[in-house]
């Protein structure tokens, strides 16, 4: 609700929210909490909902959120921001600074006034960008406050210091402890404060008196200070010792986070004046870093596989034959995500690396058996790989189907919080199905081409080098 809203009005708003949530058939249990914020402002509350099991409700968690959001639009007292929270969360090192929002964008700068103006203007810009929802700004400048100015010259004539005034106000409004009263059986803290009815209106400050160290009389607070009502910032935040402001937001499920990140960065480049910088925090930051490093990590993984396979086969060529199964599987996994309109989340990245590890076994099974045929049966290249395909077809199919059947429940979103893990299952299932069919045709053909390349160039090079080494050895032997 608006800053400075009374606790009574916040509770009224809380009751209106409760009446809407309790009637939703998909909600199993919920709790709303208000009055727990630190400080004077209590205009914010918390709503926690637990939905019924998936088999007991007809709608998904995203549909429940959308339905409740539509009903909450009818409440004009304030705003309600909601987002699905997965049961198993991947830690990203930072979280959104606003409840109900998933992503955060931080603005920093040395000039506080310019920073706050930029943050307020950019909040409006974000609201117009496609796919952005529930934009919240940490810059809140309308917090009601009472500005008290000490008349220091007049106070000093009475021997009253600023600390004396501070202690008097703390005792009056903050339940200050002055001493401890002890009995034979218990200990009591003696707490001094104004009566509650005198704490509500600023006019009652006229009734506060302080003891003068010079005259020994009681001096009214109005004689040594003046005050006026005003507004100010709720809090003043910093990041790396610079003034900061945080814009928190959600993204429409139909919009990929990568598209939203790029759109926000382009808007920031146009809107930010010199001296104001912006960067992502939390999951959006983790996604951006993951995308930047994904290509490098895949290259490292492929290189390590090539080294291990090269040591295993003592060959430079056929590890490449096995690694050619990876692009096919990756394309199949990403195509499955596209067809099912699912996002490449952090779970999707995990599934992608799992897929790269699983699918290589198809090529290993065929190439390994073909090499054995060439060494032991002294057959042609075509007959060696053809026989390998026939013999290894059943093991390849069995292991592939076992992995696919194990990942299907994840791809269907079964189990508690299964929707968040669907990208992992879709990538594994789609990639394996696609590669099972394609690699049975592509890998044997590549094996034949690379075997010809090896026979034509590498084997000739090895033969030439061996012949040169033999001649060198013969010329170095002493004549008998």
| Rounded Cα gap, residues 175 and 177, in angstroms | 7
For the chain, the average pLDDT equals 82
- Tell me 203's DSSP state: G
- In which band, very low, low, confident or very high, does the pLDDT at 285 lie, cut at 50, 70 and 90? low
At 24-38, the pLDDT tens digits run 999 999 999 988 877
pTM here?
Answer: 0.57
303: confidence class by pLDDT, cuts 50, 70, 90: confident
Between 10 and 94, residue with greater pLDDT: 10
Structure tokens at 13: 């708003």
The backbone torsions φ and ψ at residue 343, rounded to the nearest 5 degrees and listed phi first, read -90, 155
Containing H/E element for 277?
Answer: strand 277-282
Domains annotated for the chain, with CATH where assigned, are: 1-80 (3.30.70.1430), 90-141+233-291 (3.30.70.1440), 145-226 (3.30.2090.10), 315-475 (1.20.1640.10)
Neighbours of 77 (CB within 10 A): 14
Question: What's the burial of 237, exposed, middle or buried (CB within 10 Å: 0-12/13-18/19+)?
Answer: middle
- pLDDT reported for residue 22: 92
Contact between residue 174 and residue 194 where contact means Cβ atoms under 8 Å apart = no
Q: What pLDDT score was predicted for residue 92?
A: 45
Give residue 16's pLDDT band: very low, low, confident or very high (50, 70, 90).
very high
Asked whether the predicted pLDDT for residue 95 surpasses 50, the reply is: no
Pair of tokens at residue 87: 């049961």
The per-residue pLDDT for 420 is 74
Q: For residue 133, what pLDDT is reported?
A: 84
Question: For 209, what's the count of Cα atoms within 13 Å in the CB-facing half-sphere?
Answer: 8
Residues 6+ apart with CB under 8 A from 456: none
CA distance 362 to 30: 50
Where do the H-state alpha helices sit in 342-415?
A: 346-376, 381-411
How many H-runs (helices) and E-runs (strands) does the chain carry?
13, 13
Over residues 410-427, the pLDDT tens digits come to: 888 776 667 778 888 888
Spatial CB neighbours of 117, under 8 Å, sequence gap ≥ 6: none
| 100 or 26, greater pLDDT | 26
């Amino acid at each position: 609700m608006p800053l400075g809203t009374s606790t009574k009005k916040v509770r009224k708003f809380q009751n209106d929210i409760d009446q809407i949530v309790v009637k939703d058939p998909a909600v199993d249990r919920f709790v709303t909490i208000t009055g727990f914020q630190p400080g004077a402002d209590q205009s914010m509350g918390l709503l926690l909902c637990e939905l019924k099991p998936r088999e007991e409700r007809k709608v998904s968690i995203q549909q429940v959120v959308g339905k409740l959001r539509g009903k909450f639009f009818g409440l004009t007292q304030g705003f309600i921001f909601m987002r699905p929270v997965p049961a198993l969360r991947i830690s990203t090192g930072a979280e959104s600074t606003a409840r109900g929002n998933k992503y955060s964008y931080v603005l920093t700068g040395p000039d506080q006034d310019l920073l706050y103006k930029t943050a307020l203007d950019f909040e409006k810009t974000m609201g117009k960008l496609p796919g952005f929802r529930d934009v919240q700004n940490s810059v809140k400048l309308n917090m009601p406050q009472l500005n008290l100015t000490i008349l220091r010259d007049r106070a000093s004539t009475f021997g009253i210091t600023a600390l004396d005034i501070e202690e008097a106000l703390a005792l009056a409004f903050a339940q200050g402890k002055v001493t401890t009263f002890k009995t034979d059986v218990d200990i009591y803290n003696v707490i001094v404060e104004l009566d509650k009815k005198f704490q509500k209106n600023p006019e009652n400050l006229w009734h506060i008196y302080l003891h003068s160290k010079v005259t020994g009389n009681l001096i009214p607070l109005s004689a040594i200070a003046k005050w006026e009502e005003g507004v100010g910032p709720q809090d003043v935040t910093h990041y790396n010792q610079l003034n900061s402001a945080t814009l928190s937001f959600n993204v429409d499920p139909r919009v990929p986070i990568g598209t939203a990140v790029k759109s926000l960065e382009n808007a920031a480049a146009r809107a930010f004046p010199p001296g104001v910088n912006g960067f992502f925090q939390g999951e959006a930051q983790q996604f951006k870093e993951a995308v930047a490093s994904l290509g490098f990590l895949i290259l490292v993984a492929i290189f390590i596989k090539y080294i291990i396979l090269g040591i295993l086969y003592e060959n430079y060529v056929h590890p490449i034959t096995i690694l050619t199964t990876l692009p096919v599987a990756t394309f199949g996994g990403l195509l499955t995500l596209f067809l099912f309109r699912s996002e490449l989340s952090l779970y999707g990245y995990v599934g992608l690396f799992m897929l790269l590890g699983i699918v290589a076994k198809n090529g290993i099974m065929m190439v390994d058996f073909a090499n054995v045929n060439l060494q032991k049966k002294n057959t042609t290249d075509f007959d060696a790989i053809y026989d390998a395909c026939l013999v290894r077809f059943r093991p390849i199919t069995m292991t592939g189907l076992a992995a696919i059947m194990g990942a299907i429940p994840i791809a269907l979103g079964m189990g508690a919080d299964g929707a968040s893990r669907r990208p992992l299952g879709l990538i594994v299932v789609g990639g394996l199905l696609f590669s099972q069919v394609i690699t049975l045709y592509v890998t044997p053909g590549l094996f034949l081409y690379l075997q010809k390349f090896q026979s034509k160039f590498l084997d000739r090079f090895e033969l030439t080098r061996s012949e040169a080494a033999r001649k060198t050895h013969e010329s170095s032997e002493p004549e008998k």
